[in-house]
Amino acid sequence: MPRTPGSKKLTPEKKAAGALFLVDLATRGTRAVDAVNKAMTTFKLGNTVVWEVWRSRMDARALFAEHPRKPKKTKRTKDEIARLVAGVPLCDRQTLESLAIATAVPKTTLWRHLKRSWLRRAVSYVKPTLTMEHKERRHCYCLMHGHRPIGFKMDHVYDVVHIDEKWFNKYKGVTRYYLAPDEGLPCRSTPNKRYIGKVMFLAAIARTRFSGKAKKEIDGKIGI
Digit-coded pLDDT (tens) for 47-97: 887 887 877 777 766 666 666 666 666 678 888 888 888 888 888 888 888
Asked if residue 14 has pLDDT above 70, the reply is yes
180 or 30, which is more confident:
30
pLDDT of residue 108: 92
Torsion 72-78-83-89 (CA) sign? positive
25 or 61, which is more confident:
25
9 or 3, which is more confident:
9
pLDDT of residue 131: 86
Whole-angstrom distance, CA of residue 94 vs CA of residue 72: 30
Does this model's pTM top 0.85? My answer is: no
**What are the beta bridge partners of residue 153?**
147
3-state secondary structure the chain: CCCCCCCCCCCHHHHHHHHHHHHHHHHCCCCHHHHHHHHHHHHCCCHHHHHHHHHCCCCHHHHCCCCCCCCCCCCCCHHHHHHHHHCCCHHHCCCHHHHHHHHCCCHHHHHHHHHCCCCCCCCCCCCCCCCHHHHHHHHHHHHHCEECCCCCEECCCCCCEEEEEEEEECCCCCCCCCCCCCCCCCCCCCCCHHHCCEEEEEEEEECCEEECCCCEEECCEEEC
219 or 191, which is more confident:
219
pLDDT of residue 5: 47
